[in-house]
Structure 1
């Protein structure tokens, strides 16, 4: 029988117990990750990628898994993140459901899924777990730490908690704290899941699953991930060819069909309890809490600068999309200001992309070019 290549996704067992930022600990916790390229003898060419909320570690194809990854146009030989030069690692965040330990994982103490007994999860925990994994791979310092969306939050947590661990940093569509608008959106997403009768206080099964809640949560998310400019340009007021006239108020416009398709794909792709935990971790996040002498909450911008001024990266690239309603440009300006206060050479771009928050995922012509140029400079 022919041998099949090993799966691209590997697992790393975190130190046990693994202490968490808000109290509690995990035992026998694991991190899922994938790699591309080769770690050099000096172990000085490692690039770590921290993802948004829902992606797996499969950011790009490889001989072990030829399926395109979620950042396929960006990672690979000769691409922006050039795997001919860099040893690239992408992790699935702690708390997720794509191979890393989260609420859907088995609690070794009970032999049953954690569900809502999973301890409080923070963005800081995601960052610490990623660092532990990289140290387990023998990387004592990253050449570059790349963070996108929620992963950009986790990257900032790494830079503050481990100030010397990354020489350079790319922060794409990130935030140093959760703003009221994004908290409100995620609160509604959680409510949609929790109010689905099939959620059953987190005790759902495949047979009785909160499909409706997950579909609504995903639709709300997708609406905020893109911009009104893109919605108008892509869909306008175009109506569907076929409309269900037997169902009152059924979908009529193409944009509704688009949202339905996204919701259908996502509902069973991602575990609902993990979705709740990750969303709440983002709401809790405020890098200003790591300032040595935090000011009252009304001065949170000062706290952000004070916290990030403790980081030790040499160079940083901060990117935002001008149409991002979820993590708007002022949030990337806060990050740039804080990193500048640390003495880092910071390059900031408000990218004129119409794709909103998801621009880093789809506007490869702009975002990929800026990241590629930055990484070439630090080779």
Structure 2
């Protein structure tokens, strides 16, 4: 990505963390699209899942396709001719924002495991500071998907009155046992790789095997069994494509997962992965009032769109219903959209026409 497209916001220093400790000289990476109007009332903030950067779509500084390229831009579902869109790289990441891979100014070395315990509330407060730093008192819309949806709920509950409307996509008001179990296995795979070395790895001794297994586990849960059957069935690789070793890769699905992991393992820092994964497990709106319902009752938005997917096993539709019911009980005008996309949790990244249509219709009524 072009360095010119990525902007940086210096967080207040020290930046206090929810579970103790503070960051000095921390910053957030972000990108923007469109123009902020004179009233500063047309801003949309996008909070992302665990691994994406702030480069959600092409812009003037960086024409390369972003991770949500077909969703936002001039004349697209999120129309940047109308909206000023901000996408932030989450605190704790390795895509420009301060995280465990960043240099600790106190030591001159990477933080690694000396980085303070990270919560999604910390990520939310950092994003809130960015929005205020841009001179925006109230967002027109806060949009969060996956982990970013949980961060958005934290933003809303901790900063009441700062958002007019909310779009919640395939997320959760609290981490559930299945999601925690999967993330726990992903972290274990990384930590058990000898090259992880208690977080002190380098490019030559890098926990590639652990990261590969973690990514494969993730990809399996991001899609649905229905899609795996439709795409791969039981098709075997040609004999010359198989690994010449006992129990080696034999089926196309195995080859697909291996290729997916290869593309990921060196593109995301393992310690950042561990911190953000655990932050997702810790998130629980029930901390705000004693139950999820009470936590949602503290969120004051005028309108909300909640989108979920019937085949999502990581953030099931029941959790989207829980969010919609809670926001409605709190006084918001809420629309719940349940899609039957076969792509499971990843549908919001690939089933753009259906997600986009719901989002465009919601924004069009603002």
On whether the aligned pair clears a TM of 0.5, the verdict is yes
Q: Residue 333 in 1 paired to residue 331 in 2?
A: no
CA displacement 1:207-227 (0-9 Å, x = unmatched): 100000000000000000000
The CA distance in 1 between the partners of 2:348 and 2:162, in whole Å, is 24
The CA distance in 2 between the partners of 1:315 and 1:285, in whole Å, is 23
Q: Are the aligned partners of 1:243 and 1:250 in contact in 2 as well (CA < 8 Å)? A: no
The CA distance in 2 between the partners of 1:81 and 1:313, in whole Å, is 20
1:271 matched to which residue of 2?
269
1:46 matched to which residue of 2?
43
Aligned match of 1:221 in 200, 218, 223? 218
- Please report the TM-score for the alignment, with normalisation by the length of structure 2: 0.98
Stretches of structure 2 that go unaligned for 5 or more consecutive residues are none
**Larger deviation, residues 61-70 vs 233-242:** 233-242
Q: Residue 109 in 1 paired to residue 97 in 2?
A: no
Secondary structure of 1:156's counterpart equals helix
- Please report the TM-score for the alignment, with normalisation by the length of structure 1: 0.95
1:134 matched to which residue of 2?
131
CA displacement 1:269-311 (0-9 Å, x = unmatched): 00000000000000001011011xx2xxxxxxxx111111111
State the shift of 1:244 in Å: 3.1
The CA distance in 1 between the partners of 2:78 and 2:105, in whole Å, is 38
The CA distance in 1 between the partners of 2:242 and 2:250, in whole Å, is 8
Secondary structure of 2:337's counterpart equals strand
Secondary structure of 2:209's counterpart equals helix
**Larger deviation, residues 201-210 vs 249-258:** 249-258
State the shift of 1:90 in Å: 0.2
Stretches of structure 1 that go unaligned for 5 or more consecutive residues are 295-302
1:297 matched to which residue of 2?
none
The CA distance in 2 between the partners of 1:174 and 1:11, in whole Å, is 27
1:181 matched to which residue of 2?
178
2:310 matched to which residue of 1?
322
CA displacement 1:321-377 (0-9 Å, x = unmatched): 000000001111111111011100000011111110011111111111100110111
Aligned match of 2:59 in 42, 48, 62? 62
Aligned CA distance change for structure 1 residues 210 and 77 (closer, same or farther; 3 Å)? same
Aligned CA distance change for structure 1 residues 335 and 245 (closer, same or farther; 3 Å)? closer
1:18 matched to which residue of 2?
15
CA displacement 1:161-181 (0-9 Å, x = unmatched): 011111000000010000000
The CA distance in 2 between the partners of 1:202 and 1:139, in whole Å, is 38
Aligned match of 2:294 in 297, 303, 306? 306
The CA distance in 2 between the partners of 1:306 and 1:94, in whole Å, is 27
Q: Are the aligned partners of 2:120 and 2:279 in contact in 1 as well (CA < 8 Å)? A: yes
State the shift of 1:245 in Å: 5.3
Q: Residue 233 in 1 paired to residue 202 in 2?
A: no
Q: Residue 204 in 1 paired to residue 201 in 2?
A: yes
CA-based RMSD: 0.9
Q: Are the aligned partners of 1:122 and 1:284 in contact in 2 as well (CA < 8 Å)? A: yes
Q: Are the aligned partners of 2:242 and 2:249 in contact in 1 as well (CA < 8 Å)? A: yes
Secondary structure of 2:155's counterpart equals helix
The CA distance in 2 between the partners of 1:86 and 1:243, in whole Å, is 48
The CA distance in 1 between the partners of 2:292 and 2:315, in whole Å, is 15
Q: Are the aligned partners of 1:94 and 1:129 in contact in 2 as well (CA < 8 Å)? A: yes
Aligned match of 2:142 in 142, 145, 151? 145
CA displacement 1:162-203 (0-9 Å, x = unmatched): 111110000000100000000000000000000000001000
Secondary structure of 1:147's counterpart equals strand
The CA distance in 2 between the partners of 1:189 and 1:43, in whole Å, is 42
State the shift of 1:6 in Å: 6.5
The CA distance in 1 between the partners of 2:75 and 2:263, in whole Å, is 32
Q: Are the aligned partners of 1:182 and 1:326 in contact in 2 as well (CA < 8 Å)? A: yes
